[in-house]
């Protein structure tokens, strides 16, 4: 009965065009489609998903002004600028043409939280927007805490005693342990995170790729800091896999080794497609994993170590 009520309602989803963001968004789309909603995916041409793997969804590409770009923090900010007008124009066309194909009513826009410009676009069209956090609530609280402390540091004289104060959102860290604004990349990062946090607070709700049992205390803190509904319907991958939405050819050579390991025994490490580290950090991470005496699978992509395409220290 509930699924029948949802027929005729279309949801528009707009992912951030990076692997760790596209996968959860398409998993969420699959979950929502299984509940009776029609799905439209508006996406950038940069890192566009393979629409042939999702025949039940409607895919609409928009211009993003990106070509031959390297994944950096600044790229997130550039996407937030370049996509604003194309996304608004696309949504306006959908809304003015009987809302969507078949006359279906568009109920809301669901966009990746880091694509913070979408809140302004949704507001201008009087369309509710739900933000999606593709990773843990704890990580989002750490973003909010870092933004709060960095804003204090950049606008107020902070005493030594204040720097020793605990960060209530992410104990046991203290204020001076959080990053400071001292380089262009860090400044861009905090501007991005600040806008992300602010626009999540302005949204109609937050969808989180987690569940209550995993992050009970973090969710309690989030409820105190954010006066919006929070929907914990993850982990998404337990309901729908994302293998068909990979942007890269997948290396399956590790599977044979994985199959020989006991269940729940392997540490999996991946820093995504943006994070970089210097050689000393890389060696320290490798040493920590080796000293754990646990089997581990570490995704070491080309370019992870700054200034080196290879990973000789490993």
pLDDT above 50 (res 134): yes
What pTM does this model have? 0.83
Do 232 and 198 belong together in one domain?
yes
Cα–Cα distance for residue pair 138/237, rounded to 1 Å: 19
Q: How far, in Å, are 56, 267, 285 from residue 264 at the CA level?
A: 34, 8, 21
Taking residues 133-148, report their average pLDDT.
86
pLDDT single digits (tens) 240-268:
875 566 777 778 889 999 999 999 999 99
Domain that holds residue 291: 255-299
Residues 190 and 293 in one domain: no
78 and 212 housed in the same domain: yes
Asked whether residue 25 carries a pLDDT value surpassing 80, the answer given is yes
Statement: residue 37 has pLDDT above 50: yes
74 and 209 co-located in one domain: yes
Average pLDDT score over the chain: 84
Q: What Rg do the C-alpha atoms of the chain give, in angstroms?
A: 21
pLDDT for 145 beyond 90: no
> Of 121, 102, 115, 112, nearest to 10 (Cα)?
102
Cα separation of 190 and 153, whole Å? 12
- Residue 232 pairs with which residues in a beta bridge? 208
Cβ–Cβ under 8 Å, residues 141 and 170:
yes
pLDDT attached to residue 53: 86
Give the pLDDT band (50/70/90) at residue 1.
Answer: very low
102 in the same domain as 63: yes
Q: Is the same domain home to 279 and 241?
A: no
- Tell me the two tokens of residue 255: 């599977």
pLDDT in tens, 216-246: 999 999 999 899 999 999 889 888 875 566 7
Do 54 and 185 lie in one domain? The reply is yes
The structure tokens listed for 151 are 């804003």
- The single residue listed with the structure tokens 């089997």 is 295
* Domain assignment of residue 175, yes or no: no
pLDDT tens per residue, range 57-114: 999 999 998 876 666 778 889 999 999 999 999 999 999 876 545 568 899 999 999 9
Residues 97 and 203 both lie in one domain = yes
Peptide bond into 172 cis (omega under 30): yes
Number of domains the chain is built from: 2
The answer to whether residues 71 and 108 belong to one domain is yes
């Amino acid at each position: 009965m509930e699924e029948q009520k949802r027929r005729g309602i279309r949801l528009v989803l707009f992912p951030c065009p990076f692997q760790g963001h596209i996968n959860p968004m398409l998993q969420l789309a699959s979950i929502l489609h299984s509940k009776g909603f029609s799905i439209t995916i508006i996406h950038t041409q940069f890192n566009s998903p393979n629409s042939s793997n999702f025949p039940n969804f409607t895919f609409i590409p928009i211009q993003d002004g990106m070509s031959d770009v390297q994944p950096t923090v600044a790229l997130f900010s550039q996407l937030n600028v370049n996509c604003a007008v194309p996304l608004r124009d696309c949504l306006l066309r959908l809304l003015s043409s009987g809302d969507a194909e078949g006359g279906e009513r568009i109920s809301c826009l669901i966009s990746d939280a880091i694509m913070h410009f979408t809140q302004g676009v949704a507001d201008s069209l009087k369309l509710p927007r739900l933000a999606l956090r593709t990773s843990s609530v704890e990580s989002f609280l750490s973003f909010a805490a870092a933004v709060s402390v960095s804003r204090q540091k950049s606008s107020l004289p902070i005493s030594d005693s204040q720097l020793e104060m605990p960060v209530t959102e992410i104990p046991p860290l203290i204020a001076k342990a959080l990053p400071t604004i001292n380089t262009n990349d860090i400044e861009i990062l905090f501007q991005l995170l600040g806008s992300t946090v602010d626009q999540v607070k302005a949204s109609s709700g937050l969808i989180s790729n987690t569940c209550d049992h995993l992050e009970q205390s973090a969710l309690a803190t989030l409820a105190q800091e954010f006066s919006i509904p929070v929907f914990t319907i993850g982990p998404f991958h337990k309901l729908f896999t994302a293998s068909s939405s990979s942007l890269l050819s997948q290396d399956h050579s590790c599977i044979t080794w994985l199959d020989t390991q006991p269940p729940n025994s392997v540490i999996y490490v991946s820093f995504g497609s943006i994070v970089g580290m210097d050689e000393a950090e890389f060696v320290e991470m490798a040493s920590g994993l080796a000293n754990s005496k646990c089997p581990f699978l570490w995704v070491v992509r080309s370019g992870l170590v700054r200034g080196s395409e290879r990973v000789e220290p490993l």
